[in-house]
């Protein structure tokens, strides 16, 4: 992965309230410091002595002054369909697109529940009106408010090492306030802030770009939801910027592509079966169809937040295990198993 380096501006501002005067005191030109903090001058092009002087007046090390980060770093959620087909990008923006009743708020609550286990601080900028399912999300976050300033202030109060994920209702996109909000957040913390956008009213399913640019796009499938195959995320059309380059290791990319191809063909064959019966399939298509059924079933998963209702223990499946077990499904290792035996399990032995 390509590594980015940037100046820890938030740290500088906290440690040195009057940066201009402090810069002059160590022989730095105020204009140079200003250009470095605004990004007009890349720190990759700045002189070492300049960076050393900044570290001196901020009373910090060079490692603290310079932030190194990868362009694309995925956050593993332990949710099979997300981690394999559309990984969540650290510091990026993810968007959920679904109609009401398809489980998007349950998935959002589950993601927050899991990220808290990974020591993320979870916040929710919720809609001002009462909407069914929103309370499920509120119960899983560290802090929630319908006021952007409250969320911003809470982020400011966090320590510099906090990993932060914020759920945001789509109203912030509609009003045009999202980008200003994100800019303020970047100034408030040195850590990347991951945003998860949700349309709590379920009104944007027919829009091509319901949120604008996204690093991760999760579209829900009505057919899966109707058949109670949760999470009802469509693995064929959901995607992530991590998939758009050489960011995935070879086994992940290979299995993801094979699985997507199988599921796409399975959907096409399902139409034939529904219209004219399974006997219309050739022997080779029948094999694809049955294997697609098994993969679709295996991608269902018990959620921790649904334990009281489902009476089934939540399951965390590592990405490595997901890749290996999906490979087995693709290779026909579980062709002998009943489809029902693959529903709502963690691993193949679950």
Query: Which pLDDT tens digit goes with each residue over 180-209?
Result: 998 888 888 777 899 999 998 888 777 777
C-alpha–C-alpha distance, residues 274 and 227, integer Å:
14
In terms of pTM, does the model score above 0.85? no
Q: Could you check whether 3-69 and 250-342 share the same CATH topology?
A: no
Say if CB 163 and CB 127 are below 8 A apart. Answer: no
pLDDT digits (tens, 9 = 90+) for 21-66: 888 888 888 888 888 877 777 777 788 888 888 889 888 888 778 7
User: Quick one: fold of 3-69?
Assistant: 434 Repressor (Amino-terminal Domain) (1.10.260)
Q: Is the pLDDT confidence value at 120 over 90?
A: yes
Average pLDDT value over all residues in the chain: 89
Number of Cβ within 10 Å of residue 189's Cβ equals 19
The CATH code of domain 250-342 reads 1.10.1140.10
pLDDT for position 30: 84
Residue range 283-307: mean pLDDT, rounded: 98
Say if CB 270 and CB 285 are below 8 A apart. Answer: no
pLDDT for position 62: 80
C-alpha–C-alpha distance, residues 52 and 60, integer Å:
10
pLDDT for position 310: 92
pLDDT digits (tens, 9 = 90+) for 303-313: 999 999 999 99
Name 125's bridge partners. 145, 168
pLDDT for position 32: 86
At residue 1 the predicted structure's pLDDT band, cuts being 50, 70 and 90, is very low
The CATH code of domain 74-244 reads 3.40.50.300
Residue keyed to tokens 């559309």? 86
Q: Is the pLDDT confidence value at 69 over 80?
A: no
Say if CB 76 and CB 15 are below 8 A apart. Answer: no
C-alpha–C-alpha distance, residues 169 and 95, integer Å:
10
Segments making up each domain of the chain, as ranges: 3-69, 74-244, 250-342
Give which of 164, 172, 104 is closest to 136, Cα–Cα. 104
By the 10 Å C-beta count (0-12 exposed, 13-18 middle, 19+ buried), 269 is classed as buried
In whole angstroms, how far apart are CA 348 and each of 238, 287, 313? Answer: 24, 19, 15
Q: What percent of the chain has pLDDT over 70?
A: 94
More confident residue, 259 or 45: 259
Give which of 120, 151, 159, 148 is closest to 14, Cα–Cα. 159
pLDDT for position 244: 66
At residue 2 the predicted structure's pLDDT band, cuts being 50, 70 and 90, is very low
**What is the DSSP code (8-state) at residue 281?**
S
pLDDT digits (tens, 9 = 90+) for 238-254: 999 887 654 555 788 88
Residue range 161-190: mean pLDDT, rounded: 88
């Amino acid at each position: 992965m390509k590594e980015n380096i940037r100046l820890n501006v938030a740290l500088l501002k906290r440690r040195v309230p009057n940066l201009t005067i402090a810069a002059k005191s160590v022989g730095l030109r105020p204009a140079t410091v200003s250009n470095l903090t605004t990004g007009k001058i890349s720190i990759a092009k700045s002189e070492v002595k300049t960076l050393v002087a900044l570290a001196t007046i901020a009373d910090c090390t060079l490692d603290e002054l310079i932030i190194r980060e990868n362009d694309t770093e995925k956050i593993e959620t332990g949710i099979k369909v997300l981690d394999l087909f559309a990984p969540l990008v650290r510091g990026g923006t993810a968007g959920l697109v679904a109609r009401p009743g398809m489980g998007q708020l349950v998935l959002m609550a589950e993601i927050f529940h899991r990220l808290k286990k990974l020591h993320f601080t979870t916040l929710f900028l919720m809609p001002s009106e009462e909407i069914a399912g929103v309370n499920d999300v509120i119960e899983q976050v560290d802090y929630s408010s319908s006021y952007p300033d409250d969320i911003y202030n809470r982020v400011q109060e966090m320590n510099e090492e906090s990993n932060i994920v914020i759920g945001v209702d789509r109203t912030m996109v509609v009003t045009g306030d999202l980008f200003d909000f994100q800019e303020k957040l970047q100034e408030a913390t040195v850590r990347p802030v991951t945003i998860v956008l949700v349309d709590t009213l379920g009104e944007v399913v027919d829009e091509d770009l319901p949120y604008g640019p996204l690093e991760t796009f999760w579209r829900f499938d009505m057919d899966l939801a109707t058949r109670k195959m949760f999470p009802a995320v469509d693995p064929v059309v959901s995607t992530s910027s991590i998939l758009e380059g050489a960011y995935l290791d070879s086994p992940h990319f290979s299995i993801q592509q094979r699985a997507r191809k199988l599921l796409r063909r399975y959907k096409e064959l399902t139409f034939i079966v529904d219209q004219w019966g399974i006997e219309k399939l050739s022997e080779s298509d029948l094999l694809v169809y049955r294997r697609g059924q098994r993969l679709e079933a295996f991608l269902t998963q018990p959620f921790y937040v649904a334990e009281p209702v489902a009476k089934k223990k939540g399951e965390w499946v590592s990405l490595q295990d997901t890749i290996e077990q999906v490979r087995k499904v693709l290779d026909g290792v579980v062709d002998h198993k009943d489809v029902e035996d693959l529903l709502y399990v963690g691993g193949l032995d679950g």
